[in-house]
Amino acid sequence: MIGVVALVWLLTPLMASTSGWVASATRSSAVARAVTDHLPAPPESLKSLERSLIDGNFRSSSPAWSRPPRFPAPPEGSPVSAELLNELAASSVKIQGEACTKVQSGSGFSVGDGLWLTNAHVVAGAETLHLTSADGATGTGSVVSFDPEFDLALVHSADLSGPPLDVASALDGAAGLVLGFPGGGAFRPSPFLLGETMTATGYDIYDEKLVDRELLVLAADLGARRLR
């Protein structure tokens, strides 16, 4: 029994941070949650070994959870009116760029006149960025600020601008909309519920430095696959 508990303690952070059914089962496991709630985090040297054993098949900034996060059921139906959604759509943009012969794609939102906030891994290594708004307008942009530790980047575009979104406090159980372009496709808003706010430790986008991040745990259906 002690051996089983030790194995769960050592492997839970890695399994919860991967993708697929293994991660889902780990995060919803009452046993894993009980072990991680009552035992300290595994040593960092062991986490590094686990990362190397899976040949780098590990998302760059995936966090090592201090415990498996708790997810509510994804909601159905929009929590905002159609009129408000039309207004919010103007504050969302798709950002694409080519780096290392691969096209990287992600979503961004307006934070100022011609300024769009996105993930750093979306724009890393890309010299020219192509932007597409929810209504199909296009333009180009360039990175003006880049933070690989917190995976954030600020892109400026002289061609596209949108109303800046306000920043609000996160409350557990709050409902909202994910505004973006899942899989680099068309604009698709998806309702979400905020499960909780938690702190997790993960590597920067270059897998070099450990960073503590405060994360919002959301439950939503994005595109064709359910994300939790």
Tens digit of each residue's pLDDT (9 = 90 or more) over 32-65: 666 666 666 666 555 555 555 444 444 445 565 6
| Residue 116 pLDDT > 90 | yes
Least confident stretch, 13-22, 33-42, 71-80, 178-187: 13-22
pLDDT score of 169? 85
Answer whether 0.95 is exceeded by the pTM: no
What value does the mean pLDDT take over residues 61-82? 76
Region 137-153 average pLDDT: 96
pLDDT exceeds 90 at position 119: yes
- Stretch(es) of the chain classified as CATH 2.40.10.10: 82-170
Confidence of residue 24 (pLDDT cuts 50, 70, 90): low
Q: What percent of the chain has pLDDT over 90?
A: 42
pLDDT at 141: 96
pLDDT band for position 4 (cuts 50, 70, 90) = low
Furthest-apart CA pair in the chain: how many Å? Answer: 62
Q: Is the pLDDT assigned to residue 67 strictly greater than 70?
A: no
Highest mean pLDDT of the ranges 14-18, 61-65, 77-81, 108-112? 108-112
Question: Is 181's pLDDT higher than 90?
Answer: yes
Q: Which CATH architecture has domain 82-170?
A: Beta Barrel (2.40)
147-158 mean pLDDT? 96
State mean pLDDT over 78-101. Answer: 92
**150 pLDDT higher than 70:** yes
pLDDT at position 198: 87
